[in-house]
């Protein structure tokens, strides 16, 4: 029986969610038959299910709603706004009752009769939101707004539903668009941990296979197993994901109710509902998003009359979009309201002692705006019942930071406000860096890691001021914590010779907190980085406050995941005012010390540890496989719209769908070097031992006791380098004939030109200036050109003239149209700036 | 009530866990210590792909574990959705309870009374039935290790 009941509640809720959008759409257009049918089905099903159980009140409510809707369907009654409101009220009540049933509580008596009475034809409208719109509108002295205005605004004009596409489209497709089944989360977790086990077993096997040496008969199937396992793991991870739509679908109703309460008109634009997010994460961001929307509608948006006075549309626009970029999701909430008042925020912050007058004077507008996330801050003079309830923005930020996210705000006065939330894709799988201290490993979420610096590097300038250790990072003094001190790790006890490593020998992990504060964490070693699956820790361990969870390394050994924010907070490193205390110090001293050759260490696809001089490295790029072109003789890749030669690719298929590339430059040429892994930047302090066997290697040297091959930059660029081919090529105007398009065009293109897009109007084609195309060079047929000259036209581009006959006639500077060499030469001449102007 | 019980020696005393609380008995592999955690938490260890919190039961009750032997196996229990591995002197047997857990006038001594759910008669004689949630919560901060 309990199971049945749970199913009933679950089904009711699911249908409610599915019909939420339908209800709003129906309100926009009460005569819409399709919507009525959906809602009718809902109440009908509820009524039917109630028959199974003893829920007389639910049955009675759904019965009257069903009756009223049935009348509408048969045309006996006209659906009006009063009726819509009454049906909505009943549906809300059904939802509340379902909640109460699930919680095993008695739903408070009474109130049902009023709801039922409100559905009677000609009844007084029930006290719900749309009513408030009428009153509010009347109070504002503007013309009465139809009760369904906010909802219709949500969906834009019902005929031209083009601009608010995602939300509307979803409704049109109906809830059946995506088939799904219901699974208990712990079953998913079990499957997931099973797959994790498989990965561990595979790693073990891989280890043993390596020991046994190469065995082609086994290695092949083993590779296959590895690929399959990676696929399965990926799929399982996706199982935990949910479309952010589930969160979005409730928002139109929220905004509708809010705007109706406040007498404002708001249109919601939702975008990116198909972005997927961890289920848990969706729950975490639900409150923050709701809160920001409340704020936006309550404080941000002006009343319709004010908006009209300001020359804006009466209907305010609230747009919410979600986008995935790499391992983070950014959610942008923007409104076109009055914007944030910098002065008021600053005044308030000074009044509450958050900042001093002097600090305020030196703060940028952007900085001042971020103050709204400080604890104890609220600009609303009168706390309304909308945004006054619930949490402040400080809690919003805190909650987001707890899961490794961040939030910031930008705003233009009179134009609007824009909140940007960055949240990690999932709570359970994050990119992590494994570090070691005193022989014990710990994981740090990669999102915090700004840079890793070996502290023997002179640039680091490790000092102690009092008890506090400081390092210099990009010209700033940054506080430094020793992981061993933070965790009170015991000194190495095993062998007396192994004295504790001095801080100046350790590796610094520079961490950036979500608030923007930097600090360094000194660890003994860096191990690896990769995706880690985070498992929760027992409450007794969580209480210590230093750990966010645990994870298993590939060998099955558990490691603790550090809670960076809490560690920083425990040492008082999280405060926005602090950053200003640390002034940048003299950079020149650092530069003077820098005599050693600095190099970027990496591992190439052959597994070789290599180094390349840091001066050659322009940037580290990550390119998708699709950007790489293997069709030509030598591989190439497109980076930022430029085609560059690519070297260092592995033989055979590419290992993943993303590739790490070093973008090397000698000042004019550029080339890309594919690498398996980027290790670190280091100083090459060891002696350089010239290597003669491989022309590509300048020398071998020692870094941390291991050999590293230093790449010979000269050889590299001599052999592979070429000036980047700019994709935005010079434009060439071609004559308006088929011959020019199909035969001349490819030739011009191969000479490095783009073809000008000429209007097809032939009258314009003879007037290059009138046509408005700005070609860098133009090719004209001789006769056309003569005609143009005769018309006294002004050519502001170099012109190449083509003639139809091989022999030059009349001595004019023209080229026979099949004289390929002369044509290419002319094009190249024009390109290098020496274009002939006839 | 004819419950199955997992019998174990903790700090030289015979104790019992309800068998339905015990999910398995494992060989303890490498334990990763958890710095700055309460001292009765020996660390975390991996069971399949799960992380278990290893509880040193003797210390959790309030005794010095150095005085007794240590079983190389551990009892895995699940409390409030978290799994724990309990380290004890020795894991003995599974036996069935005779009758309900009862109390002894005067209690079991301060350390034991805190973690006891009562005394239970078993086929193998009387044993102290352990109340898992209090055991796992550990001693209050004031209780120093004996």
Residue pLDDT, tens place only, B1-18: 467 888 888 888 888 888
* pLDDT value of position A574: 60
Paired tokens of A816: 């026979």
Q: How many residues are listed for chain B in this entry?
A: 146
Q: In the predicted model, what is the mean pLDDT of residues A81-92? A: 79
CA distances to B55, B60, B96 from B6, rounded to whole Å, are 17, 19, 9
By C-alpha distance, the chain B residue nearest A544 is: B37
Q: Name the minimum distance, in Å, from the CA of A115 to any CA of chain B.
A: 43
pLDDT for the residue numbered A723: 62
| Contacts with A560 from chain B: Cβ below 8 Å | 32, 34, 44
pLDDT at B54 exceeding the cut of 80: yes
Between A265 and A106, whose confidence is greater? A265
Residue A162 binned pLDDT confidence (cut-offs 50, 70, 90): very low
Q: Is residue A250 part of a domain?
A: no
Distances (CA, A) of A237 to A349, A389, A735: 44, 36, 56
Residues 6+ apart with CB under 8 A from A10: A182
Residues 6+ apart with CB under 8 A from A422: A328, A329, A330, A405, A406, A407
Q: Say if strands A449-454 and A689-690 run parallel, antiparallel, or are unpaired.
A: unpaired
Q: What is the mean pLDDT of chain A?
A: 72
The alpha carbon dihedral of A815, A818, A822, A825 has a sign of: positive
CATH of the domain at A446: 2.40.50.180
Q: How far apart are CA A538 and CA B43, in angstroms?
A: 11
pLDDT band at A121 (very low <50, low <70, confident <90, very high): low
Is residue A736, in this structure, part of any structural domain at all? Answer: yes
Q: Comparing A641 with A149, which gets the higher pLDDT?
A: A641
CB of A566 less than 8 A from some CB of B = no
Report chain B residues whose CB lies below 8 A from the CB of A538: 41, 53, 82, 84, 136
- Indicate the residue among A105, A127, A149 that finishes a domain: A127
A188, A484, A541: best mutation site toward chain B, by most B Cβ within 10 Å? Answer: A541
List of residues 6+ apart from A358 with CB closer than 8 A: none
Chain A residues in contact with B44 (beta carbon < 8 A)? 537, 541, 550, 558, 560
Task: Using CA coordinates, name the residue in chain B closest to A195.
Answer: B49
Do A691 and A809 share a domain, yes or no? no
C-alpha closest to that of A292 among A209, A158, A171, A396: A396
Residue among A441, A538, A551 minimizing CB distance to B53: A538
Place of tokens 């940007």: A420
Quote the CA–CA distance of A268 and A279 in Å, as a whole number. Answer: 24
Both tokens assigned to A573: 């490193």
Cβ–Cβ below 8 Å for B51 and A440 = no
The pLDDT of residue A254 is above 50: yes
Residues of B at the A interface (Cβ-Cβ below 8 Å)?
29-30, 32-38, 41, 44-46, 48-51, 53, 80, 82, 84, 136-138
Looking at per-residue confidence, does A490 or B137 come out higher?
B137
- Domain edge (last residue) among A580, A615, A632: A580
Give residues with Cβ within 8 angstroms of A701, minimum separation 6.
Answer: A611, A684, A686, A687, A688, A689, A707, A708, A710
Residue of B nearest to A198 (CA): B49
One domain for residues A705 and A746: no
Q: Is residue A222 part of a domain?
A: yes
By Cβ distance, the residue of A196, A544, A560 closest to B49 is: A196
Same domain, A518 and A651: no
Contact B32 A558 (CB under 8 A): yes
> A556 vs B136: CB contact, 8 Å cut-off?
no
- Per-residue pLDDT tens digits for A182-209: 778 778 778 877 887 787 778 778 877 8
- Domains defined along chain B, listed by start: 4-137 (2.40.50.180)
- Asked if the model's pLDDT at residue A229 lies above 70, the reply is yes
* Greater model confidence, A371 or A377: A371
Query: Does residue A172 sit within a domain?
Result: no
How far is it, in rounded angstroms, from Cα A62 to Cα A97? 12
Tell me which of A493, A538, A550 to substitute to probe the interface with B (most B C-beta atoms closer than 10 Å): A538
Tell me how many domains chain A contains: 5
Give A293-314 pLDDT, tens digit per residue.
Answer: 888 888 778 888 888 888 888 8
Same domain membership, residue A514 and residue A467 = yes
Residue B144 has pLDDT above 70, yes or no: no
| DSSP strand pairing (A558-562 vs A440-445) | parallel
Using a pLDDT cut of 90, give the percent of chain A over it.
0
A641 belongs to a structural domain: yes
Residue whose structure tokens are 């923005």? A393
pLDDT average, residue stretch B52-79: 84
ipTM, 2 dp? 0.82
Residue A810: what pLDDT?
57
A89, A148, A149, A277 from A257: Cα distances, Å? 12, 11, 12, 27
What average pLDDT does this structure show over A786-800? Answer: 73
- The pLDDT of residue A736: 76
pLDDT tens digits for range A693-704? 777 777 777 777
A673 phi, psi to nearest 5 deg:
-120, 120
Residue to substitute from B23, B28, B51, interface A, most A β-carbons within 10 A: B51
pLDDT for res A161: 36
- pLDDT at position A636 over 70: yes
Mean pLDDT, to the nearest integer, of A381-395? Answer: 53
Same-domain pairing of A447 and A559: yes
Asked if residue A768 and residue A733 are part of one domain, the reply reads yes
More confident residue, A82 or A164: A82
Cα separations (Å) of A423 from A215, A282, A786, A793, A836? 45, 10, 65, 60, 57
Is A738 within a domain?
Answer: yes
Task: Name residues 530-549 of chain A within 8 A of B (Cβ).
Answer: 533, 535-541, 543-544, 546-547
Could you tell me if A564 and A435 lie in one domain? yes
Residue A192 C-alpha, separation from nearest chain B C-alpha, in angstroms:
9
> Does residue A236 belong to the interface with chain B, where contact is any CB pair within 8 Å?
no
Predicted confidence (pLDDT) at residue B24 exceeds the cutoff of 80: yes
A361 versus B139: which is more confidently predicted? A361
Task: Spell out the SS3 assignment of A437-466.
Answer: ECCEEEEEEHHHEEEEEECCCHHHCCEEEC
Residue A336 has pLDDT above 80, yes or no: yes
Question: Which residues does A41 contact at the CB level (< 8 Å), separation at least 6?
Answer: none
Burial of A455 (0-12, 13-18, 19+ CB in 10 A): buried
Mutant choice from B38, B43, B44 vs A, greatest count of A C-beta within 10 A: B44
**Inter-chain CB proximity B41 and A541 less than 8 Å:** yes
Residues A605 and A515 in one domain: no
Does residue A530 carry a pLDDT above 60? yes
Distance CA A689, CA A327 (A): 41
Picking from B38, B50, B137, the nearest residue to A535 by CB comes out as: B50
Angstrom CA distances, A552 to A402, A536, A562, B127, stand at 22, 12, 14, 37
User: In A, which residues are within 8 Å of B80 by CB distance?
Assistant: 539
Instruction: Tell which wins on pLDDT, B49 or A804.
Output: A804
Q: Are residues A487 and A533 in the same domain?
A: yes
CA A629 to chain centre: 27
Show the tokens assigned to A42.
């809902």
**Closest by Cα among A625, A620, A648 to A637:** A625
**Helices and strands, counts by H and E, chain B:** 3, 10
In a domain? residue A149? no
Nearest CA in chain A to B82: A538
Decide: A444 and A433 in contact? Cβ < 8 Å: yes
What residue in A sits closest to B79 (Cα-Cα)?
Answer: A538
Please indicate, yes or no, whether residues A710 and A737 belong to a single structural domain of this protein.
no
Cβ within 8 Å, pair B32-A440: yes
- Judge contact between A332 and A320, C-beta under 8 A: yes
Question: Nearest by CB to A197, which of B48, B80, B137?
Answer: B48
pLDDT at A46: 78
Please indicate whether, in this complex, the C-beta atoms of A558 and B48 are within 8 angstroms of each other. Answer: no
Contact A487 B136 (CB under 8 A): no
Q: Tell me the nearest-neighbour CA distance from B77 into chain A, angstroms.
A: 12
Beta bridge partners of A642: A639, A726
- Select the residue of A196, A540, A557 nearest B30 (Cβ to Cβ): A557
Say how many CA atoms lie within 13 Å of A193 toward its Cβ: 16
Q: Which residue of B has its CA nearest to A487?
A: B35
DSSP state at residue B32: B
Q: How many CB pairs under 8 A join A and B?
A: 72
d(CA A437, CA A364) in angstroms, rounded, equals: 40
Lowest mean pLDDT among A336-340, A571-575, A735-739: A571-575
Same domain for A116 and A190: no
Q: Are residues A576 and A635 in the same domain?
A: no
pLDDT tens column, A576-614: 333 333 333 333 333 334 445 777 888 887 777 888 887
**Mean pLDDT, residues A666-689 taken together:** 76
Question: Which whole number is the average pLDDT over A337-361?
Answer: 81
| Spatial distance between the Cα atoms of B4 and A702, rounded to a whole number of angstroms | 64
A488 CA to chain B: closest CA distance, Å? Answer: 7
Interface check for A618 against chain B (CB to CB < 8 A): the answer is: no
CATH number for the domain spanning A790: value is: 3.40.50.2300
Position A189 scores a pLDDT of 74
What is the domain range of residue A47?
2-127
Instruction: Average the pLDDT over each of A597-606, A681-690, A755-764 and give the range with the smallest value.
Output: A755-764
pLDDT of residue A406 exceeding 70: yes
User: Which of A551, A580, A609 corresponds to the end of one domain?
Assistant: A580
Residue of chain B whose Cα is closest to the Cα of A193: B49
Query: Measured between alpha carbons, how far apart are the two ends of chain A, in Å?
Result: 94
Does residue A668 or residue B92 have the better pLDDT? B92
Is A402 domain-assigned? no
Interchain contact, B138 vs A540, CB within 8 Å: yes
pLDDT at A1 over 70: no
HSE-up of residue A320 (Cα within 13 Å, Cβ side): 27
Angle at A448 (CA atoms; ends A443, A454), nearest 5 degrees: 75
Q: Is the pLDDT of residue B73 over 60?
A: yes
Nearest CA in chain B to A200: B49
CB contact under 8 A, B34 and A547: yes
């Amino acid at each position: 029986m309990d199971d049945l009941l749970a199913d009933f509640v679950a089904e009711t809720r699911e249908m409610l969610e599915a019909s939420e959008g339908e209800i709003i759409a129906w309100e926009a257009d009460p005569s819409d038959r399709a919507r009525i049918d959906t809602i009718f089905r809902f109440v009908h099903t509820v009524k039917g299910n109630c028959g199974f159980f003893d829920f007389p009140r639910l049955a009675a409510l759904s019965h009257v709603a069903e009756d009223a809707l049935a009348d509408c369907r048969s045309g006996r009654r006209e659906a009006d706004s009063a009726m819509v409101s009454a049906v909505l009220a009943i549906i809300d009540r059904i939802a509340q009752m379902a909640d109460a049933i699930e919680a095993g509580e008695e739903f408070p008596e009474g109130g049902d009769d009023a709801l039922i009475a409100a559905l009677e034809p000609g009844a007084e409208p029930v006290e719900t939101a749309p009513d408030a719109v009428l009153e509010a509108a009347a109070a504002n002295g503007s013309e009465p707004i139809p009760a369904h205005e906010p909802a219709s605004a949500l969906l834009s004009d019902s005929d031209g539903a083009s601009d608010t596409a995602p939300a509307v489209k979803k409704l049109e497709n109906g809830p059946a668009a995506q088939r799904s089944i219901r699974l208990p989360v712990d079953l998913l977790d079990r499957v997931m941990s099973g797959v994790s086990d498989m990965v561990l077993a595979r790693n073990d096997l891989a280890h043993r296979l390596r020991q046994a040496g190469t065995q082609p008969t086994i290695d092949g199937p083993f590779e296959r197993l590895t690929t399959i396992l990676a696929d399965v793991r990926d799929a399982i991870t996706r199982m935990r994901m949910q479309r952010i739509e589930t969160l979005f679908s409730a928002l139109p109703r929220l905004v509708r109710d809010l705007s109706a309460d406040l007498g404002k008109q708001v249109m919601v634009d939702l975008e990116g509902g198909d972005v997927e997010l961890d289920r848990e994460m969706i729950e975490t961001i639900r409150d923050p998003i709701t809160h920001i929307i409340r704020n936006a509608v309550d404080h941000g948006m002006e009343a319709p009359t004010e908006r009209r006075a300001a020359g804006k549309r009466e209907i305010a626009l609230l747009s919410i979009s979600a986008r995935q970029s790499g391992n983070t999701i950014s959610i942008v909430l923007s409104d076109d309201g009055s914007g944030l008042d910098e002065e008021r925020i600053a005044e308030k912050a000074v009044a509450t002692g958050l900042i001093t007058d002097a600090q305020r004077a030196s703060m940028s507008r952007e900085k001042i705006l971020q103050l709204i996330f400080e604890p104890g801050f609220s600009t609303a003079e009168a706390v309304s019942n909308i945004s006054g309830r619930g949490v402040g923005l400080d809690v919003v930020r805190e909650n987001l930071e707890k899961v490794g996210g961040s939030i910031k705000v930008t705003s233009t006065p009179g134009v609007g406000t824009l909140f940007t939330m960055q949240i990690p894709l999932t709570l359970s799988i994050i990119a992590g860096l494994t570090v070691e201290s005193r022989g014990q490993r710990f994981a740090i979420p990669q999102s915090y890691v700004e840079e890793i610096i070996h502290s023997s590097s002179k640039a680091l300038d490790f000092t102690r001021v009092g008890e506090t250790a400081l390092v210099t990072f990009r010209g700033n003094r940054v506080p430094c914590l020793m992981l061993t001190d933070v965790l009170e790790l015991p000194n190495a006890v095993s062998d007396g010779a192994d004295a504790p490593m001095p801080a100046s020998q350790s590796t610094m992990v520079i961490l950036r907190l979500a608030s923007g504060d930097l600090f360094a964490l000194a660890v003994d070693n860096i191990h690896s980085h990769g995706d880690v699956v985070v498992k929760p820790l027992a409450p007794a361990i969580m209480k210590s406050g230093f750990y966010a969870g645990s994870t298993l390394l590939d060998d099955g050994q558990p490691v603790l995941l550090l809670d960076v924010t809490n560690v920083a907070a425990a040492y008082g490193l999280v405060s926005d005012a602090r950053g200003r205390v640390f002034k940048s110090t003299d950079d020149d001293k650092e530069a003077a010390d820098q005599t050693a050759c600095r190099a970027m260490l990496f591992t190439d696809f052959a597994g070789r540890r290599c180094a390349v001089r840091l001066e050659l490295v322009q940037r580290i790029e990550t390119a998708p496989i699709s950007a790489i072109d293997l069709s030509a003789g030598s591989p190439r890749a497109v980076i930022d719209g430029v085609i560059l030669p690519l070297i260092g690719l592995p033989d055979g298929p590419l290992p993943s769908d993303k590739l790490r590339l070093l973008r090397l430059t000698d000042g004019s040429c550029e080339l890309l070097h594919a690498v398996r892994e980027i290790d670190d930047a280091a100083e090459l302090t060891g002696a350089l031992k010239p290597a003669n066997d491989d022309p590509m290697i300048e020398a071998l040297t020692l870094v941390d006791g291991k050999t590293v091959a230093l790449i010979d930059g000269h050889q590299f660029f001599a052999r592979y380098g070429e000036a980047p081919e700019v994709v935005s090529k010079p434009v060439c105007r071609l004559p308006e004939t088929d011959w020019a398009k199909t035969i001349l065009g490819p030739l011009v293109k191969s000479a490095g030109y783009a073809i000008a897009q000429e209007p097809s109007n032939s009258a314009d084609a003879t007037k290059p200036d009138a046509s408005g195309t700005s070609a860098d060079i133009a090719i004209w047929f001789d006769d056309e050109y003569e005609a143009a000259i005769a018309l006294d036209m002004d050519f502001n581009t170099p012109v190449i003239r083509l003639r139809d006959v091989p022999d030059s006639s009349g001595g004019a500077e023209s080229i026979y149209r099949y004289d390929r060499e002369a044509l290419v030469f002319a094009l190249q001449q024009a390109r290098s700036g020496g274009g002939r102007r006839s | 009530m004819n419950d199955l019980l997992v019998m174990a020696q903790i700090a030289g005393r015979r104790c019992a866990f309800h068998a339905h609380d015990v999910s398995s008995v494992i060989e303890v592999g490498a334990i990763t210590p958890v710095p700055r955690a309460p001292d009765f938490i020996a660390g975390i260890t991996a069971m399949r792909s799960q992380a278990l919190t290893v509880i040193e039961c003797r210390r959790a009750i309030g005794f010095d574990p150095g005085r007794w032997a240590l079983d190389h196996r551990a009892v895995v229990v699940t409390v409030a959705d978290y799994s724990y591995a309990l380290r004890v002197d020795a894991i003995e047997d599974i036996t069935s309870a005779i009758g309900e857990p009862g109390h002894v006038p005067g209690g079991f001594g301060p350390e034991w009374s805190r973690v006891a759910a009562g005394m239970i008669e078993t086929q193998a004689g009387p044993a102290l039935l352990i109340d898992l949630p209090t055991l796992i919560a550990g001693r209050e901060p004031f209780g120093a290790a004996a």
